[in-house]
Structures are given as structure tokens and as C-alpha cells.
Amino acid sequence: MLSSRPARVAIGVLSFIALAIAVYIMFVVKADQALPGCGEDECGAVLSSRWEQWGNIPVAHLGIGGYVSLITATVLTGVVRSPMLRVGLWAFMIVESLTGLGFITWLLLLQWLIIKQFCIFCLSSHLFGVAAYAIILWKAPAWHGFYHARTRLTGAAALLLVFLVTVHILVVPDMMAAQAAESLAPSDRAEEEALSTGMLQFGKKEASRTVRLLDDTLTFDLYKVPVSGDYDAEHVLVELSDYACPSCRGLHRKLTQFKEDYDVAMVIVHLLAPLNTACNPHIKKTPRGFENSCTYAQYAMAVNKADPTQFAAYHDYLMTGRFPPAPEEARRKAEAMVGKEALAAALEDEAVKEWITNGLNLKRYIKATTLPKLITRTQVVSYSGGSKAAFRQTMQKALNITGLEKRKH
């Protein structure tokens, strides 16, 4: 029974370990850092997804609150003398255990079926939490001694679980953050020289280039990079993405809508950082769903090499829809736009590889653990989802625009 000291100690210890892991995850997410041994291709995909938020509350906060209340209730069951109060505490712990087991199952299904990646730290916290819940259901007197209460307790837990899952599905959180360029830790000169290849130069440079972003630490010639928009546009952004990345595709939809709604002179530089080991040596393994990332990136850069005027349309084609087209379809589309022979020749051009390398180097330079990123003159903007209003406010701040004018249709 829970009145026995060993059972209460076991529940307390297991809950405390689960709590400690959840707190650690919370601090790492707030600091926008990668969990050690679990980077962008694993934990990062989970912790940067829109499912990491329950409404506007991080899921880790739900776990922290639950484990704190569980530890408190466990301690109180060994202290209070009132039988009625102790039964109430046991009932509370049973409802929390049933709800917790259900919600953890929901989170595992999300990681398996939707995100298609598992966070090892999250799974560790879940494991200790499940062990604590199991002991409660095994030992709690209110579960074994009052059989008539089982239906009511189970019903209460089911209602609470339905509420948690419903909010998680229907309440789409605002998940955008802007990082000041001045907050980026400067690289040493050797690292800058190693990363600075082709058209991108990192670090303060004496030579003047067409465009300077990130407080003049990122310089490039706008006419030598893949772009969509007017070369003479006032506002220049760099979009760092991957065609197989769901959040990147979501950002594309938001940017398209933003450009349709507001009269903003904007040109976007499109660089790619494929999460695929075939062309990205900086990740340990290719995440599920990203098997063709390098192929899409090569086709897009080849189209830009063969005919830069066709790049924006081809980029939009690859980014439209919930998933990218099949690689065979993507190639046929590229051949139709620039010609079969021109595409084949462009795919062999070193510029294609160089553009992808520069995207990967830019990702390393800004220490991005997740995609996509929008880079402006002074900020690095992260996007994982959110409302139309939040996106508008973030873009307005990132571009330093005091007022937005609606586009006349």
C-alpha cells in the first residue's frame, strides 16, 4: 500500500528523476541549444515541432507541474492523519497516473507517426514517469480497496485526457523567435576561414559586398545566389531550409501569404541545408522522411544554374503541398522548365555543390540546431508554426518596418 514507506520512496525517487529530466529539457529549449548526443536530426526535430507546445505552454512545463504535484501528494500521504484526506490524495494520484499514462502514449504516437523522430531525453523522462504511475496503480488503496470508485476515477481521468489531447490538437501555438545578431558568439579566425567558401563570407570583412546581413558579418553578391523577388528590393532576407522539412514548408506558405497581403519590397535568398548524410557531413544519420533532401536541393540549385529566372517558380513547385513531389516528378518538372540537357549539365557544375555547401556552412555559422531560419540585417528568426498575426508582427520587427500597407488586389 502507499502507506508503506518503500512504495512512497520509490514513487518519489522515480518522479524526481522524471522531473529533473523535464526541467533540463525546458532549460535547453529556452536556450535554443541542442541536447548533448541528441541533435537536430533527433531531439531537435521533436523539441522544435509545433507539438512541443500545449497551447502556448511547453509540454515540458506540463510534465514539470505533474511530477511536482505527484511528489507533493506522495509526501502528504505519509504525513496526514485524516483518513478522508488520505483517500482524496490517493484518488488524485490515481487520476493523474491514468491521465499521465494516456498523455505519454499520445506523445509517443506523435513522435512515431507525425514527427517521425524520437527524443531520447523525452523518452527517458516518460520512462521514469510511467514507472511511478505503475507503482501508484499497483499499490494505491483507493484503487484496490474501493472498487466502486474505479469507474468514477477512470472517467475523470478520461475526461482530463480528452481535454489535454483536444487542446494539443486544436490550439495552434505561436512558435517564432528572433535572435539578435549581436548575441551570436563570434567564431575564431580559423573557423571563419574554414566556413567562408564561395559566395558567403563570415565575420567582419573590409571588402564591401552587395548585401550585408547579421550586423555586417554575412556578406554576399545578391546576383550570385538563388533568389525569388526583385533584385532591387529594399528588404533582403536569407531563408535557410530543406524541402523535406515540414516547418520549412509551413514557412513557405506563411511567406507567400505575407507577400500577397502586404506591399513590402522584399527579395529572398534561398539557401539549403539538407538533413541528409549524402550531402551533409555534419549530421549522424538521415531522419525519416528526409531521404531525398539532397536530391531536391541538387535539382533546385541546378535549375538556378541553368536558368536563374526559372528558380523562383521551381522553388515554389517543390515547396507547395504537404509533402514534396516524388524525385522522378521533380526531375521531370525541372527538365520541362530548363531543358533536359541543360539540367544534366547543370547538375555536374561545381556551383550546385558550392551553393549547398554554403547553406550548410551558414547553418553552422549561426549555430542553428533546427530549420527553417530567416536571416535579416540584425536577426535570425526561427519558425515552427503560429498564427498569421504573430507571423506579421515578427516579420515587421525583423524587417524593421514601422507600418505595413495592405496590398491592393
Q: Report the Cα 145 to chain-centroid distance in Å.
A: 46
pLDDT at 55: 86
Would you place residue 37 in the very low, low, confident or very high pLDDT band (cuts 50, 70, 90)? low
Would you place residue 187 in the very low, low, confident or very high pLDDT band (cuts 50, 70, 90)? low
Q: What is the DSSP letter of 115?
A: I
Query: What span, in angstroms and rounded, lies between the C-alpha atoms of 325 and 328?
Result: 8
Would you place residue 49 in the very low, low, confident or very high pLDDT band (cuts 50, 70, 90)? confident
pLDDT at 316: 97
Which whole number is the average pLDDT over 9-30?
90
Would you place residue 209 in the very low, low, confident or very high pLDDT band (cuts 50, 70, 90)? very low
Which whole number is the average pLDDT over 281-286?
90
Query: What span, in angstroms and rounded, lies between the C-alpha atoms of 69 and 254?
Result: 39
Name the residue with cell 526583385: 230
E strands, 182-234, in order: 201-202, 211-213, 218-220, 227-228
| Domain 5-170 = CATH 3.40.50.1370 | no
pLDDT digits (tens, 9 = 90+) for 118-157: 888 899 999 999 999 999 988 776 555 555 677 888 999 9
**Cα torsion 334, 340, 343, 347: sign:** positive
Contact assessment for residue 44 and residue 287, using Cβ atoms and an 8 Å cutoff: no
- Per the CATH hierarchy, to which homologous superfamily does domain 176-398 belong? Glutaredoxin (3.40.30.10)
pLDDT at 293: 97
pLDDT at 194: 77
The conformational region for residue 396 under phi > 0 = left, psi -120 to 50 = alpha, else beta, is alpha
DSSP alpha helix (H) spans, 262-339? 293-306, 311-319, 327-338
Q: Tell me if residue 150 falls in helix, strand or coil.
A: helix
**H or E element that contains 382:** strand 379-383
pLDDT at 41: 53
pLDDT at 211: 92
pLDDT digits (tens, 9 = 90+) for 287-327: 888 999 999 999 999 999 999 999 999 999 999 998 999 99
Name the residue with cell 488524485: 92
Q: Answer with the residue of higher pLDDT: 44 or 266.
A: 266
pLDDT digits (tens, 9 = 90+) for 63-79: 999 999 999 999 998 88
Cis amide linkage into residue 141, ω under 30° from 0? no
Q: Is the pTM of the predicted complex or chain greater than 0.95? A: no
pLDDT digits (tens, 9 = 90+) for 327-350: 999 999 999 999 999 999 999 999
Average pLDDT, the chain: 87
323 CB burial (10 A radius; 0-12, 13-18, 19+): exposed
Would you place residue 88 in the very low, low, confident or very high pLDDT band (cuts 50, 70, 90)? confident
Question: What cell numbers appear for 242 in the block?
Answer: 530543406
12 CB burial (10 A radius; 0-12, 13-18, 19+): middle
Contact assessment for residue 51 and residue 384, using Cβ atoms and an 8 Å cutoff: no
**Domain ranges across the chain:** 5-170, 176-398
**H or E element that contains 383:** strand 379-383
For residue 250, the one-letter residue type is G
Longest CA–CA span in the chain (Å) reads 85
Would you place residue 185 in the very low, low, confident or very high pLDDT band (cuts 50, 70, 90)? low
